[in-house]
Amino acid sequence: MTRELVGHFIDGKEVFEGEQRGPVYNPALGRTIREVLFADAALVDRAVAGAKAAQVAWGEESLARRQRVMFDYRSLLLAHREEIVERISEEHGKVLGDAAGEFARGVEVVEFVTGLPQLLKGQYNDSVSRGVDAMSVRYPLGVAAGITPFNFPAMVPMWMFPVALAVGNGFVLKPSEKDPSTAIRLAELFVEAGGPEGLFNVVNGDQHAVGRLLEHPDVKAVSFVGSTPIARSIYERAAKAGKRVQALGGAKNHMVVLPDADVDTVAESAVSAAYGSAGERCMAISVMVLVGEGGQDYLSAIEARMSQLKVGSYLDPKSEMGPLITGAHRERVAGLVSEAEAKGAQVVVDGRKHPLVTESGFFFGPTLIDDVRVDMDAYREEIFGPVLLVLRAPTLDAAIALVNGNPYANGAAIFTGNGGAARTFIRHIDSGMVGVNVPIPVPVAYHSFGGAKHSLFGDTHVHGEEGIRFYTRAKAVTMRWPGEANPTTGMHFVTNA
Ligand code: NAD
């Protein structure tokens, strides 16, 4: 059977080249629906060369022109919203509401960069010395590359390329080979919106395409989002090749619940944050820490809500949670649940026994595990599935120490009615993003997104002001215009003395 192919998007058109190819599943059906071609080094080189050539003129364009392209791009994205959202769900498996949510968060970044002239305003000081002025300005880097994970095929690329392009760069994106089609559509629409052909290229593929991007001399910056071992390796390799790099890794996000927290708010938040998108969100809550004695009322309320959760295909409008990305990933999730159980944890709600697990899709039921210990693999490793672990801590300080003992530090949330306790949590928790009665504290586009420790290698977060800084290089200019009014002085440093 000949399957539909996903190619690459280079110099303004889809290109079907590459010896190797990989399967693209519809996870709700559990079968291959198309295949994706993998780029080799020569094709990656073509994509980089195209972006480099197009960047020269784009970098010289006025801010107003680049801003207008971004405005038109936003309109086109919204006009094609339904089609893109369906494509996300088809290849990823998340329900349409989740896909629409990620798309909306991606579009927010495009909206953020329509404020380009304001974002790129430099700084100026008149008369830092007699007759001497100083200014700081930022210029594009040239070509930047992005390497992105399967779990947000629209939003994570959109954390990167709209910012990189708006400030004047070319961009080459290597999306996840598991759900590659969305990226192609995003690039096509950029050209339709008036973006120059070749400026934004997409190469599909695996680690070989990534390897070429990391060593290519014309790639000046690398943004990566994915699992921790790969993030660490990308960081090391790109830095060694002299590039600036931001590499966002995996997560284990904790939700700390103080005894004064509202039961309904906690239950609602825990269920949506742990099981939404089948737990395949980098900001999903995967651990709940109950502080103090008791806590059974929280668990009972969570269980009651879980029993109403509708698992199913995105094609059923009633579905609230879809399947996992692959059958292999489902086996890994099931294995971690079994490991915790074998080591003495209590599986309160068991997703391994969900009726859909026997169907053809890659479904796994929502799972709640109590009495988890920090030495269990289920706690130490990122599960990336619909599994919520429950641990206990006697005090807030003990809970903070427990969370900070985990090597991941993406997001963390506290649920409480006590402002002082929340302030202590904000100040002392290691995580890069903190929620107070908000389970998934993903920053809006004009703030910056990023974690710490094993959740971020590098120091710059994505989008917001940090994104603008990442994709530009600074110049500090000191100016004097000698003349009658400004006699030139000697060879000493300019000082105010
Ligand atoms: P992954 O690390 O397997 O893959 C990410 C990207 O790296 C893909 O494009 C893939 O093709 C490429 N890649 C894979 N192996 C490689 C190798 N050996 N060398 C070079 N490139 C390689 O991640 P995934 O499974 O696609 O995504 C899930 C992971 O991403 C989870 O760990 C999740 O927490 C993380 N994630 C983190 C954030 C964040 O903001 N920190 C956001 C989304 C996802």
Does residue 132 contact residue 479 with C-beta atoms inside 8 Å? yes
Reply yes or no on whether the pLDDT at 495 is more than 70: no
What does DSSP assign to residue 426? H
Q: How many CB atoms are located within 10 Å of the residue 342 CB? A: 9
With 70 as the cut, is the pLDDT of residue 489 above it?
no
Sheet hosting strand 244-248, strand order edge to edge = 13-15, 8-10, 200-202, 170-174, 143-147, 219-225, 244-248, 456-457
422-435 tens-digit pLDDT = 999 999 999 999 99
Q: What is the DSSP string of 30-50?
A: TEEEEEEEPP-HHHHHHHHHH
Going by CA atoms, what residue is nearest to atom 34 of ligand 1?
250
Which residue has the CA at smallest separation from atom 8 of ligand 1? 176
Separation of alpha carbons 497 and 216, rounded Å: 48
Tokens of 295: 């806590």
Give the ipTM of the model, two decimals please.
0.98
Please report which confidence band the pLDDT of residue 300 belongs to, taking 50, 70 and 90 as the band edges.
very high
Domains of the chain listed by start with CATH number = 4-249+455-477 (3.40.605.10), 253-436 (3.40.309.10)
The per-residue pLDDT for range 303-324, each reduced to its tens digit, is: 999 999 999 999 999 999 999 9
Give, for ligand 1, the residue of 44, 203, 206, 387 to mutate: max count of ligand atoms closer than 8 Å to Cβ: 206
Show the 3-state SS of 129-154.
ECCEEEEEEEEECCEEEEECCCCCCC
Q: Which residues does the annotation mark as catalytic?
A: 282
Residue 380 CA: distances (Å) to CA of 226, 249, 283, 455: 17, 15, 16, 14
CA 297–ligand 1 middle distance (angstroms):
37
Q: Is the pLDDT of residue 263 over 80?
A: yes
Indicate the pLDDT class of residue 358, thresholds 50, 70 and 90: confident
Nearest CA to ligand 1 atom 23: 226
pLDDT digits (tens, 9 = 90+) for 130-162: 999 999 999 999 999 999 999 999 999 999 999
Backbone angles phi, psi at 329, to 5 degrees: -65, -40
Residues with CB under 6 A from ligand 1: 147-152, 156, 174, 176-177, 206-207, 210, 225-227, 230, 248-251, 282, 382, 384, 410, 451, 455
Average pLDDT, the chain: 96
Within 8 A by CB and 6+ apart from 132, the residues are 478, 479, 480, 494
Counting atoms of ligand 1 from 1, which one is nearest the CA of 233? 19
> 2 pLDDT band (50/70/90 cuts)?
low
Candidates 282, 406, 442, 460: which one to mutate for ligand 1, based on the most atoms within 8 Å of Cβ?
A: 282
Ligand 1 atom nearest 231 alpha carbon: 2
| Ligand 1 atom nearest 226 alpha carbon | 30
